[in-house]
A = this chain, B = another copy of it.
Amino acid sequence: MHRHTSITGLTFAGLLAFAATAAGEGDLRTQAKALFGALPKDMATHPLKPEQVALGRLLFFEPRVSADGTVSCARCHQPALYGTDALVKPIGVQHRVNPRNAPTVLNAALQISQHWRGDRVSVEDQASQALTGPASYGNPSQEAAMAKLRAIPGYRELFAKAFPGQAEPITAENWGTAIGTYERTLVTPAPFDAWLAGNDGALSPSAQAGLKAFIETGCASCHNGSGVGGAVYQKFGLAEEYWKATGSREIDKGREDVTKAPADEYVFKVPSLRNVAMTPPYFHDGSVAALPQAVQIMAQVQLGKTLPDGTVKDIVAFLESLTGTLPAEFATEPVLPAAAFEAPQPQPASDAGTPAESLQR
């Protein structure tokens, strides 16, 4: 059961027992506080440097560093779509289709790791590795990406201020650090947090009933912590094969392809459910468009249960209470230093790796 261990050291089973004890007390808020905890003000592991946050915000919206000049972090993590792209699978440089659905960047740093299979250790790691991802920024090397960034005069001073004392501060590591540091500020307090903090009116009776059902049904056994998920790995399809319920076109072995451990077959990171109502479609392959259907499928394939329609409705009301306020530093685009993009021999579109048909469910 090593894969079910959360970052807090509490096991899956331990949390369930803890929740059951709390439930015995009959106080939903006490129980919820124990399971979820308070949303932090930011997701810093050390004091955030304002110059790095400000630079990272620019770089997040910067497309000129990608191989064809069309991909920034914001291409797949659009503010208008709550940090996602609403696509089944994101489309990157040269119209290449990424293998899995784009999760929101909001609250992303609360999670134990990044990407569905947890193969990015942090938001910083994700940002750095994206530079050379064939279907993300598509650069032949991190150095090639940095050469483009160095060609935009306005960045030199900004990097020097954010990373003082370095002979050449425009590096892929600093790119990752700046973007990751910015992303660590992107927390979205929601009505659920107001309710957890004592505001009784912040959750409707239906949402409160949904929270109770969410815990009692067993959803919170995996979707716990302040991210309401994101803290553990879990097999998708504990009770039955997931692809039969989701109608997935392909079977994804998940984390097994990363760790090569048979125990990790069909294992994915449990996603955070914050802002889930704003970020369809659902699951690692974007195979399900509607939230009520996603809730029902989860109960079925993870817990072997079929929920009454009213319970699904309540759980959806609870999930909607996880929709937070967009941070102003995310909703508002910064102005980037002006410079034309000098296209570095982009490949013709016909060289695209994954055909766009894989967009289809």
Binding site for B on A (CB under 8 A): 58, 61-64, 68-70, 72, 74-75, 78-82, 85-88, 91, 94-96, 277-282, 286, 289-290, 326, 328, 331-336, 338-343, 345-350, 352, 355-357, 359-361
A278 touches B338 (CB 8 A): yes
- Identical chains bound together, number: 2
A88 touches B279 (CB 8 A): no
A341 touches B86 (CB 8 A): yes
B63 touches A335 (CB 8 A): no
Complex alpha-carbon distance, A350 and B332, angstroms = 35
Q: Assuming A355-B349, A356-B348, A357-B346, is B281 touching A340 (CB within 8 A)?
A: yes
Complex alpha-carbon distance, A359 and B62, angstroms = 18
Say how far A68's CB is from chain B's closest CB, in angstroms.
Answer: 7
Q: Assuming A80-B333, A80-B336, A331-B333, is B346 touching A349 (CB within 8 A)?
A: no
B88 touches A343 (CB 8 A): yes
Complex alpha-carbon distance, A277 and B70, angstroms = 21
Q: Which residue of B lies closest to A286 (CB)?
A: B340
Report, nearest first, the 10 A-B pairs whose CB atoms are least far apart: A281-B340, A349-B352, A280-B340, A95-B95, A289-B340, A95-B349, A79-B333, A61-B80, A80-B333, A343-B359
Q: Assuming A333-B331, A347-B356, A349-B95, is B86 touching A64 (CB within 8 A)?
A: yes
For A280, the chain B residues whose CB sits under 8 A away are: 338-340
Q: Which residue of B lies closest to A91 (CB)?
A: B70
Complex alpha-carbon distance, A271 and B286, angstroms = 43
B88 touches A341 (CB 8 A): yes
Say how far A353's CB is from chain B's closest CB, in angstroms.
Answer: 9
For A357, the chain B residues whose CB sits under 8 A away are: 346, 348
B335 touches A326 (CB 8 A): yes
> Which of B58, B62, B356 contacts A346, CB < 8 Å?
B356
For A95, the chain B residues whose CB sits under 8 A away are: 68, 94-95, 349, 352
A selection of 17 A-B contacts at a CB cut-off of 8 Å is A58-B80, A61-B80, A68-B356, A69-B359, A70-B75, A74-B80, A80-B333, A82-B338, A88-B343, A94-B356, A95-B95, A281-B340, A286-B340, A326-B335, A343-B359, A343-B361, A349-B352
